[in-house]
Amino acid sequence: MAHAASRDEDEPIRVDARSVEANDKTGTVVYSGDVLVEQGRLSIQADRIEITARKGKTELVRATGKPAKLRQRSNDDRGEIRAEAGRVDYHVSLRKVDLVGHVALRRGEDLFTADVLHYDLDSKSLNAAGDEKSDGRVHAVIQPKKPGEPAPRP
């Protein structure tokens, strides 16, 4: 009997770190030291990760590092997503990620760079903006598709 694939948001959030500080009053847990957070096909690596919960439900996973890294393994033909930034905010219930500061997002051979990038994990859509302090631009390198491949999507 075949089992239906579970949805990432139904999977537990797993954390591995060198140290942890928890504050039940504020609903905040701070993990430090080569931190890895995983939920289903999504993983985030960073120097420091702060997890905020309200009413027992995880709302925000904020990762900071030099850089903080995000990976979403693919279950379709669009390819794996790999991103890095100074800060990664994962809004758990919304299944959205905000990347801030020297952002680079890769899918296969395609590359997007920006200062701020918003990414929807379910629709696989993105919205990016450049930094006015640098050239203020978003940069993309999209490789041509090979015969028989589906058209690239952001």
Q: What is the pLDDT of residue 2?
A: 39
**Chain mean position to CA 125:** 13
- With H, G, I as helix, E, B as strand and everything else as coil, classify residue 55: coil
For residue 119, the cross-strand partners are 97, 126
**Burial label, 41 (beta-carbon count in 10 A; 0-12, 13-18, 19+):** middle
Distance of CA 104 to the CA centre of its chain: 11
Mean pLDDT value across residues 47-62 = 95
Domain boundaries, the chain: 8-141
9-33 pLDDT, tens per residue?
A: 789 999 999 999 999 999 999 999 9
Question: What fold is seen in the domain 8-141?
Answer: lipopolysaccharide transport protein A fold (2.60.450)
For residues 134-154, give the mean pLDDT.
Answer: 77
Q: pTM value?
A: 0.85
* CA–CA gap between residue 63 and residue 48 (Å, rounded): 6
Does residue 6 have a pLDDT over 60? no
In this predicted structure, the answer to whether residue 86 has a pLDDT above a threshold of 60 is yes
